[in-house]
Amino acid sequence: LRELACAKDLKGKKVVVSAGATQEPMDPVRYLTNHSTGKMGYAVARACMLRGADVTLLASTGCTLPPVPFVKTVPFTTAADLFEAVKANAMDADALVMAAAVADYRPATVAADKVKKHDGEMNIALERTDDILAWVGAHKPEKLFVCGFSMETRDLIENSTAKLHKKNMDMIVANNLKVPGAGFGVDTNVVTIITAQGVTELPLQSKDAVAGHIADAIAGK
Angle between helices 132-139 and 79-89 (to 10 degrees): 20
Asked whether 20 and 63 are in contact (CB, 8 A), the reply is yes
Binding part of the chain for Ca ion, among 13-21, 102-110, 155-163, 168-176 by CB under 5 A, reads 102-110
Identify the H or E element spanning 48. helix 39-50
Q: Is 34 a catalytic residue?
A: yes
Contacting ligand CTP (CB under 6 A), which of 78, 89, 129, 175? Answer: 129
Residue 84 binds: one of ligand CTP, Ca ion, none (C-beta under 5 to 8 A by kind): none
Is residue 130 a contact residue for Ca ion (CB under 5 A)?
no
Question: Total binding residues for Ca ion by CB under 5 A?
Answer: 1
Say whether 76 counts as a known binding-site residue: no
Asked whether 171 and 195 are in contact (CB, 8 A), the reply is yes
Indicate the residue among 41 and 212 with the shorter CB distance to Ca ion: 41
Sign of the Cα pseudo-torsion (77, 32, 181, 133, in order)? negative
Contacting ligand CTP (CB under 6 A), which of 132, 193, 217, 219? Answer: 132
Is residue 104 a contact residue for Ca ion (CB under 5 A)?
yes
Binding part of the chain for ligand CTP, among 2-10, 114-122, 149-157, 202-210 by CB under 6 A, reads 149-157
- β-bridge partners, 101: 21
Backbone angles phi, psi at 9, to 5 degrees: -80, 0
Q: Is 196 exposed, middle or buried (0-12, 13-18, 19+ CB in 10 A)?
A: exposed
In terms of Cα–Cα distance, which of 133, 115, 213 is closest to 173?
213
DSSP for 189-203, please give it: E-EEEEETTEEEEPP
Is residue 216 a contact residue for ligand CTP (CB under 6 A)?
no
Contacting ligand CTP (CB under 6 A), which of 44, 79, 164, 210? Answer: 79
Q: What character string, x for contact with ligand CTP (CB under 6 A) and - otherwise, covers 85-104?
A: -------------x-x-x-x
Say whether 167 counts as a known binding-site residue: yes
Cite the active site residues. 34
Question: Which residues form the interface with ligand CTP (CB under 6 A)?
Answer: 79, 98, 100, 102, 104, 129, 131-133, 148-151, 163
Annotated binding site for CTP: 104, 114, 149, 163, 167
